[in-house]
Amino acid sequence: QVQLVESGGGLVQPGGSLRLSCTVSGIFFSTAIMGWYRQAPGKQREFLAGITFGGTTNYADSAKDRFTISRDNAKSTVYLQMSSLKPEGTAVYYCHAQRIISGIRSNDYWGQGTQVIVSS
């Protein structure tokens, strides 16, 4: 059974920082492109950042310069370091795993989400 378990969310003041973690089990972590998304109340889920097994990253414009995605392949864990958080960053943050087999996208999986509230 595939599981993505996020942690690290919570309440943070504007301008503050948080680090989210997502630990994956049930699939070969090395076959997955990992990503972080968020969904604010009343809005669609949006892509924030992605990272390949080899460490190649890409970011949405909203995440560039303030967020950093990284992964520890030995721990099957992906991280999202967030800094200079803004109130509009209040959302549920989701971890995503896109499995790649022989260069072709296969199944994908979502975590349950972790709530981040940016407020003073």
What are the DSSP E strand ranges found in 1-120?
A: 3-7, 10-12, 18-25, 32-39, 46-51, 57-59, 67-72, 77-82, 91-101, 104-110, 114-118
Structure tokens at 48: 């924030």
Structure tokens at 52: 């390949």
pLDDT at 28: 84
Higher pLDDT, 102 or 14: 14
Tens digits of residue pLDDT in 78-93: 999 999 999 999 999 9
